[in-house]
Structure 1
Amino acid sequence: MDKKRREKTSLKTEIQNLKKINTLSVVTELIASKEQCGILSKKFQFLKQFGIGYFQTHQFEGLSITIFDVLFKQNLLLEGTLYDDFLEMSFLIEGEQIIKIEGVNQDLIYESQECYLLYLENIKGSISYRKRKRLKEVKIRMSIDFIKRHKLNEEYDIAEKYSLLQLQSNFLKPLCSKTQDILSEILTDQRKGLLKRLFLESKTLELIALKLETSSQETKTSSSLPTDNLVKKLYQVQHVVSSDLSIQYSIHQLSRQIGLNDFVLKKEFKVLFGKTIFEYATELRMEKAKQLLLHSKKPIYEISELVGYKNSTHFTAAFKKIEGITPKKYRNTSESEKT
């Protein structure tokens, strides 16, 4: 029995003596509620015997965004039927869930650093949550009116392409670095009222656009893509590289951190992203360098350190090789064009 199968078996075995509920209100209490500029925001705290943490919701004009952050003390089973049709995006930043859906033969194991986009119609099922496991998730639901307002069905045939019965068990995808950046913005946002509404709707549309774009790219290259488990590891590599550009990781360091063979990592990263890890990292470094040159007064030696070059001479040479001019000339040219 391989490691993946053992983990799934262990997960199913542990979900015993479940506390069955049909709504989270049974195990939580409302601690805050506010309506401002048409956005209704509520925050619920989990009762101490069930977990440490909260979930909060923001609802307006056919859009519902729920954020979970809780460490469960008991195994919970949330059962129910959803009668409305809606588009749902979920991003599981941390945690594990077993999803059972009527009409789908096998249980779905939803794990950390995965996400999905689904069109759900009159769905019945359950979600199991594990005790001693932290759940950190962002879940977004869009009504039919929201879908029509943004012409998602007209342009992308959302209802058919992302129907659960059509996708079955392969709808779970790894979180990419761009998605994680957007989620981080949502989780740390402190806006209120109208600004909160505008911000959340714009980020929802950004996430949908990113998801549709990624799905389109995957369709074009599906025949050559690595296996799902390997893809997840490759997205982890992408996130490690992009999360701190001041660090220049070697292939060996990334391989050890993610748990992949050096050769496999290099080969499959290029298959998935169409460029080597070095090319990907350099592209990000140069884009960040250009932004800093254009929009900050930081000296070039400081910018070089921020994008992973300890020696500003090496940074200047790398920048000139790609952009055709030195960082100094790039900044001066841009400033002269403004005037």
Structure 2
Amino acid sequence: MDKKRRKKKSLITQTYNTKKIDTLYTVSELITSSERCGIISKKHQFLPEYGIGNFQTHQFEGLSIIIFDVLFKQDLLIEGTLQDDFLEMSFLIEGEQIIKIEGVTDDLIYESQECYLLYLENIKGSISYHKRKRLKEIKIRMSMDFIKRHKLNDEYNIAEKYSLLKLQSHFLKPLCSKTQDILSEILTHKRKGLLKRLFLESKTLELIALKLETPPQNTKITSNLPTDNLVKKLYQVQHMISSDLSIQYSIHQLSREIGLNDFVLKKEFKILFRKTIFEFATELRMEKAKQLLLYSKKPIYEISELVGYKNSTHFTAAFKKIEGTTPKKYRSTLEN
């Protein structure tokens, strides 16, 4: 019995004492509500007996964004039917959910660092949340009006391509580093009014654009490890590298951090991302360096430190090898 089936079986045995509810609004109370520039924002706090935390909603012109951050004290089961047609993106930063959908054979175990994009129509099912597990999730729903306004169906046939009944259980994907950066921006922004509205819509479109990009083809994991677990580990490495380019990780440091041996990490990373870890990190460093050379007045020695080089001599040599010119000449060419 594989890991997910064992996990599913153990979770199903807990359902006898699960609290069944219609929505999470049932176990929470509204603490703030505001409307400005057409955007309605609300914050609900969970009742103490059910959990510690809250969820926030932001709604405007066919777009609904829900942000959850809670540690549940009880097992909860939401059952119901969603009758409206809409496009949904979910990003599970932390937590675990068991999703049952009528018409889909297998229950879905939705875990930390996973996400999905789905077109849903007249869906009936349930979601289970488990106690002592923190839930940190961003869920975005887009109405048919939103889809039409941005021509998502005209250009990408999104209603058919991302239909739940077509994808069945194959829609859960790991969070990539670019997606995590955008989610971090959403979670930490402090904008209000029109700026908040413009920001949230632009970030939603950025996330959709990432999802619609053509995925790598002929990617075949060769390790004996469970594929879904391995892929998440490889995306974790990608995120570690890209989140702070001033740090130059060794292969050994990365492999120790995620629990893979050096050989498996190097081999499978190249298969999944079509480049070595060194090539991936160097590409990011050079792109960041070019941005700083173009849009900032920072001295070259400071830029070299920001992109992970101990001194400007090493940085200049690496930059010239890839770009064919030195950072100083690159900047002067742009200025002219």
Using structure 2 for the length normalisation, give the TM-score. 0.95
Please show how residues 76-155 of structure 1 align to structure 2 within 5 Å.
76-155=76-155
2:16 and 2:303 map into 1 onto residues whose CA distance is: 54
Separation in structure 2 between the aligned mates of residue 292 and residue 12 of structure 1, nearest angstrom? 52
* Structure 2: distance between partners of 1:23 and 1:120: 18
Secondary structure, counterpart of 2:17 in structure 1: coil
Identity of aligned residues (%): 83
Shift of the alpha carbon at 1:14? 3.7
Q: How far apart are the structure 1 equivalents of 2:163 and 2:3?
A: 31
The aligned counterpart of 1:207 is 207
Shift of 1:301: 1.8
The separation in 2 between residues aligned to 1:11 and 1:314, in whole angstroms, is 53
The residue that corresponds to 2:248 in the other structure is 248
Provide the C-alpha distance between the structure 1 equivalents of 2:154 and 2:2, rounded to a whole number of angstroms: 44
Distance 2:299 2:16 in 1: 60
Cα offset, 1:150, TM superposition? 1.0
SS of 1:45 mapped into structure 2: strand
2:220 aligned with 1:217: no
The DSSP-based 3-state class of the residue aligned with 2:281 is helix
For residues 147 and 23 of structure 2, what CA distance do their matches in structure 1 show? 26
Cα deviation, residue 265, structure 1: 1.4
1:228 deviation in Å? 2.8
Judge conservation of contact 1:246–1:306 (CA < 8 Å) in 2. Answer: yes
Q: Which residue of 1 aligns with 2:238?
A: 238
Give the residue type in structure 1 aligned to 2:215. Answer: Q
Q: What is the match of residue 301 of structure 1?
A: 301
Residue in 2 that maps onto 1:68: 68
Report the alpha carbon displacement of residue 159 of structure 1 after superposing the two structures with TM. 1.1
Q: Summarize the alignment of residues 1-339 of structure 1 with structure 2, pairs less than 5 Å apart.
A: 1-213=1-213, 216-218=214-216, 220-222=217-219, 224-225=220-221, 227-335=227-335, 337=336
- Verify the 8 A CA contact 1:95 1:133 in the aligned structure 2: yes
43-52 or 251-260: which moved more? 251-260
Q: 1 CA distance for matches of 2:221 and 2:149?
A: 34
Q: Is the 8 A contact 2:4 2:109 kept in 1?
A: no
Measure how far apart 1:217 and its partner are.
2.1
Deviation, 1:333, is 2.3
Local SS of the residue matching 1:221: coil
Which digits, 9 at most, give the CA deviation of each residue in 1:123-158, with x for residues without a partner? 111111111111000000011111111111111111
In structure 2, C-alpha distance between the alignment counterparts of 1:127 and 1:325, rounded to whole Å: 55
Q: Return closer, same or farther for 1:258/1:5 CA change in 2, 3 Å cut-off.
A: farther
Pairwise CA distance, 1:261: 2.5
Partner amino acid for 1:63? L
3-state DSSP of counterpart to 1:54: strand
In structure 2, what residue type is equivalent to 1:221? N
Cα deviation 1:96-136 (Å, max 9, x = unaligned): 00001111111100000000000101011111111111100
Flag the 1:293–1:106 CA change in 2: closer, same or farther, 3 A.
same
User: How far has the Cα of 1:50 moved from its partner?
Assistant: 0.8
Tell me the CA shift for residue 15 of structure 1.
Answer: 4.2
1:38-59 CA deviation, whole Å, 9 max, x = no partner?
A: 1111110111111111101111
Q: Which letter does structure 2 place at the counterpart of 1:195?
A: L
Structure 2 gaps, min length 5:
none
Higher mean C-alpha displacement, 91-100 vs 301-310: 301-310
- Measured against aligned partners, the alpha-carbon deviations of 1:39-84 in whole angstroms (never above 9, x if no partner) come to 1111101111111111011111111000001111111111111100
Closer, same or farther in 2 for the Cα pair 1:11/1:304, shift >3 Å?
Answer: farther
The two structures have a TM-score, normalised by structure 1, of 0.94
Distance (Å, rounded) in 1 between the aligned partners of 2:264 and 2:34? 51
Shift of 1:10: 3.2
**Cα distance in 2 between the residues matched to 1:89 and 1:3:** 26
1:107 and 1:134 mapped to 2: Cα distance? 21
Whole-Å separation in 2 of the counterparts to 1:127 and 1:185: 27
- 1:144 counterpart letter in structure 2: M
Deviation at 1:225, TM superposition (A): 4.9
CA deviation string 1:188-223 (max 9, x = no partner)? 11111111111111111111110010xx224x335x
Q: Contact 1:16–1:75 (CA<8 Å) still a contact in 2? A: no
- Between stretches 227-236 and 280-289, larger displacement belongs to 227-236
